[in-house]
């Protein structure tokens, strides 16, 4: 999963990132973070459809936490390149509280920061079953992340919105199935 980072380094050294390389790096690292997050959520959904005992799927299931942390690493790079675009000025920090897309992005970042900070083995052991409940916040982070992207790139509104809607629909169906909620007939 470090292949995108290596590829971006290659493009950077070759001067093939266009007229605004920092802006392109900002965009690409944010996209990679989002795709890794969605891939991680997809693994969780596929777990219910496929049994993790299948060898090819078991690898992905066991490395799911690694994908989440890697997603956060790309997200940190995305934030770094955003501040680099703004020349690391104090005004960039002030914009976080005034621009809607940055508010959603910051909330997604803080949520994923909390999830990444609690992804170490000793924290998982210490938290017990509360760890799993906390890490369900990844769905909230995915919603915040998607809204952040849709506010920036309105052309991708249908694409990202439909992906998120599909994830939420499948997740709601999974929760209903687990709780075995039966509709009441009036």
Answer whether 116's CB lies under 8 Å from 68's CB: yes
Q: Greater confidence, 77 or 170? A: 77
Q: What number is the average pLDDT over the span 127-135?
A: 87
pLDDT at residue number 108: 92
Q: Greater confidence, 69 or 53? A: 69
Q: Is pLDDT above 60 for 102?
A: yes
Q: What number is the average pLDDT over the span 73-77?
A: 91
Q: Which of 58-67, 78-87, 173-182 has the lowest mean pLDDT?
A: 173-182
The percentage of the chain sitting over the pLDDT mark of 90, rounded to a whole number, equals: 11
Span between the terminal Cα atoms of the chain, in Å? 52
Q: Which of 46-55, 89-98, 144-153 has the lowest mean pLDDT?
A: 46-55
Average pLDDT, the chain: 80
Which tens digits make up the pLDDT trace of 151-166? Answer: 887 666 677 677 777 8
Give the residue among 137, 1, 7 at the shortest CA–CA distance from 63.
1
d(CA 7, CA 25): 11
The percentage of the chain sitting over the pLDDT mark of 70, rounded to a whole number, equals: 85
Answer whether 119's CB lies under 8 Å from 127's CB: no
Tokens matching residue 144: 């915040």
Q: How many CA atoms lie within 13 A of 185 on its CB side?
A: 0
d(CA 21, CA 26): 9
Band of pLDDT at residue 183, cut at 50, 70 and 90:
low
Which element (helix H / strand E) includes 171? helix 157-179
Which tens digits make up the pLDDT trace of 132-145? Answer: 888 888 888 888 88
CA-to-CA dists, residue 171 to 20, 33, 65, 176, angstroms = 39, 21, 19, 9
pLDDT at residue number 109: 92
Band of pLDDT at residue 110, cut at 50, 70 and 90:
very high
Answer whether 109's CB lies under 8 Å from 83's CB: no
- pTM for the model stands at 0.79
| Per-residue H/E/C for 72-139 | HHHHHHHHHHHHHHCCCCHHHHHHCCCCHHHHHHHHHHHHHHHHHHCCCHHHHHHHCHHHHHHHHHHH
Band of pLDDT at residue 76, cut at 50, 70 and 90:
very high
């Amino acid at each position: 999963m470090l292949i995108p980072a290596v590829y971006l380094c290659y493009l950077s050294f070759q001067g093939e990132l266009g007229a605004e390389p920092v802006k392109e790096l900002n965009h690409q690292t944010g996209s990679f973070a989002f795709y890794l997050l969605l891939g991680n959520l997809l693994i969780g959904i596929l777990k219910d459809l496929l049994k993790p005992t299948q060898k090819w799927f078991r690898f992905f299931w066991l490395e799911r936490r690694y994908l989440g942390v890697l997603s956060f690493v790309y997200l940190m790079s995305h934030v770094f390149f955003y501040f680099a675009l703004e020349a690391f000025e104090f005004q960039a920090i002030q914009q976080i509280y005034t621009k809607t897309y940055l508010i959603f992005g910051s909330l997604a970042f803080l949520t994923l920061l909390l999830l990444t900070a609690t992804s170490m083995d000793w924290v998982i052991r210490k938290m017990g079953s509360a760890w799993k409940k906390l890490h369900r916040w990844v769905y909230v982070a995915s919603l915040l992340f998607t809204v952040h992207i849709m506010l920036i790139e309105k052309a991708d509104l249908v694409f990202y919105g439909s992906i998120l809607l599909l994830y939420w629909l499948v997740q709601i169906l999974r929760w209903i199935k687990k709780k075995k909620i039966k509709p009441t007939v009036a």
